[in-house]
Amino acid sequence: MTEPTSLSAQTCWVVSDGKIGMESQCIGLAEALGTTPIVKRIQVRRPWRWLPPLWVPDPLGSLGPKKDRLTPPWPDILIASGRQSVAVSIAIRRMSLGSTLTVQIQNPAVDPALFDMIVAPRHDRLHGLNVIETTGGMNRVTAARLAQAAGRFGPQWSGLPRPLVAVMLGGDNKVYRMPGRVGEKLGRQLAEMARREGAGLLVTPSRRTAPGVLETIRRSLDGLPARIWDGTGENPYMGYLALADAIVVTADSVNMVSEAATTGKPVFVVALEGGSRKFRAFHEELRSEGITRSFEGQLDAWHYTPLRETERAAEEIRRRFGARLSLGAAPLN
């Protein structure tokens, strides 16, 4: 069996508008390729940020001064995500005369041929010879990181009973809503489950979790063996994934569900109000593959093959472009 081509000596930029979900996906893929990425956070100035990417006449000149500037020498690999990065990726591929391998994460909503590779979740419904279709999103969850987090956080929660259930809370976004009544139901279900199963709970909110919803859940779990992260100190998110026996996650985040599914542990998805065709397709895909189940206040145990989509995408990029990166890129046609 041929060993995968190492790209550790290649320079790699990660480009996004700084949103955690997008940036983390790019970094996860860069690390899976064996590179140490340089993170570039950009902001496109008005009015260019509102226009379709191909309408921007000078993509690099449209970048605002408060974020990172992008200047030569161009990297060997550029991994980008988000609408604001699309025109930038296309421009750097052109200005580098094809020497920069451009990888766009998620559907860029322009011709895929403008990039060397696109890594898009299957629910984006994007197809092409240079498109790697994945189940869910890229992430930074690896066996090594989980083991490190278990060692770091394990002593803090050693007194909690088993089974230990991690609860990952999201909140409102463009398509989902998590109003107070959803928080009340979830808090009640978690409390009843903890009493019935003798379970311990590890709860972490996100930036989108409404304070009122979090307080409702906190009150519901008062007096029970539960730890709720208050936002201070090191983020315990990876420790939750590492140490939990089961994971409960709200439906609003493809990233959180994808990350939970890399562990191989039972993943329960909490239904929220709203939704979209893309999200419904994503959740249906994971349910049909036996990875997730709906959370109804019960604990079940089942087995599935953990998602390793980040590693799979990285291996495909190495397979297709390893020789090109080692030998130097041919100019664009």
The model's pLDDT over 120-133, given as tens digits with 9 standing for 90+, comes to 999 999 999 999 99
Q: What class does CATH assign to 143-294? A: alpha beta
CB count in 10 Å sphere of residue 32: 22
- Per the CB < 8 A criterion, the answer to whether 147 and 242 are in contact is yes
Could you tell me where in the chain the CATH 3.40.50.2000 domains are found?
143-294
pLDDT at 10: 87
The CATH topology of domain 12-135+309-327 is Rossmann fold (3.40.50)
The model's pTM is: 0.91
pLDDT of residue 257 exceeding 90, the answer is: yes
Q: Is the dihedral of CA 282, 286, 288, 289 positive or negative?
A: positive
CA 80 to chain centre: 13
Q: Is the dihedral of CA 282, 287, 291, 295 positive or negative?
A: positive
pLDDT of residue 332 exceeding 90, the answer is: no
**Closest to 42 measured CA to CA, from 83, 98, 1:** 83
The model's pLDDT over 94-109, given as tens digits with 9 standing for 90+, comes to 999 999 999 999 999 9
Largest CA distance in the chain: 67
What is the spatial distance between Cα 136 and Cα 211, in angstroms, rounded to a whole number? 28
Triad 230, 246, 228: Cα angle to 5° = 10
Q: Is the dihedral of CA 232, 32, 265, 134 positive or negative?
A: positive
Q: Helix or strand or coil: residue 99?
A: coil
